[in-house]
Structure 1
């Protein structure tokens, strides 16, 4: 049955490109004659009836903006069965018969609970970590990588001037995708990620050999989940005898104007999500596979994560010698 009233929300950590996706969802729905309601503050917003009517004008001038105009929050109440039952009820009372959820795997698990309660849902992967199973790409990843790369370029300037080792910590508690891609593109000497155990002695040996052949500085990328960055930095300085500085980039990686790639995929995913719901589909995630936009079953995406690109990781080690 085609939907008549569509809700859209963002949940979990924000990611550049979410606004472009919201824009595409709203304008595609309006084009097809579907009423649209924005839900502010994610699933918590459903429980609190934090609804706002949306039209083409309400999403004007947002495609270039980072963050999310619908705001985002995590909801402890929605994690309980009673909260999920109430959320489905609040949506029905509001007349919302279809829901687009933009977020990560935790957001998708929430969407599954509504799908099982009879609400038609379509999910769009929006997370800078790029760790959602079933898709090669998540909204915000490209922007985050380029933000880190810009930081690497700037830090390299001062590292060269002082002849230091610089460690740069990036986001990724369980995922090293940002560290790997930014470190590879930035020519880092070592890339430390949660997925791959590392030998600190081997890291230091590489740094010492580099200095012996004339290198004046070194860059190390570390994902926050790979270990205690400050302690590792102190150990490297002690073992190499070379001054070591640590930079923790933090939430700067979540902000900023989305790249062209993030805007393109976010817009395509948003539009396709509406079309899939309109065609009667539910319980799906929009995904990129082999460069094509496809719809995949939500179960796998919500319960598993994608692994690190081992070939890229191995090549990074070869090229940094």
Structure 2
């Protein structure tokens, strides 16, 4: 057995629950910054940095970043290394990626033209997850990436999907993370697919437009009032706490907490992943999981 393989296999036996949760999160959401990982799983930045570097030396993680115009660098982005990808794939019963396939995937991710959009999309879930760590009455029950949500919900392509619980209130959501690069009519046009999903007895979760600024939000709200969507639609701006009273419904006058938005899990029909054998099952195959700090 090669020495490197022996080292990796020995390390697997000592992976903490936090390490395993981190690898699973990166498998689901593709890339996270150092700061995002710290807020997800650590209480001390130094401890986070030390652990990430250790996992990288073992080939479980990889990292990349870009230089800033005028000097300096953007934050490190972390992704699964080859052995991390193989570890997660093995645990989920998926085929093991080859070295060539994983290298190509990492190169595509690191040169991903929409990396800024991916980072902003993931930031939405990171903020909710971190909020739940500090509020015992809150829980991020489900946090699915675009890939998983698109596979599980027929006919829609949200940037992310989740279920947020606060006290006894549980609200689903579909996220549309806007970077200001698309026209407002194009944004409005995305709602038809969500309306069709609701008409097929799928969930009628609020579509959340997370926007880059207040002017963009005001203009979209004006368009929404003309469109009159047949499903809940709410808006807020980047930088706001997505769990807080920041969401303005298309027909609303007062901003609401995420948990207070209208939400319907749909009916037990084919294609609705909220139901298993006719019974409501909101955990699903991929969830945010527990908060492993050990």
| Bigger relative contact order (CA 8 A; separation at least 6) | 1
- Normalised TM-score (structure 2): 0.29
Return the structure number with greater helix share: 1
- Normalised TM-score (structure 1): 0.27
- Structure with greater Cα Rg: 1
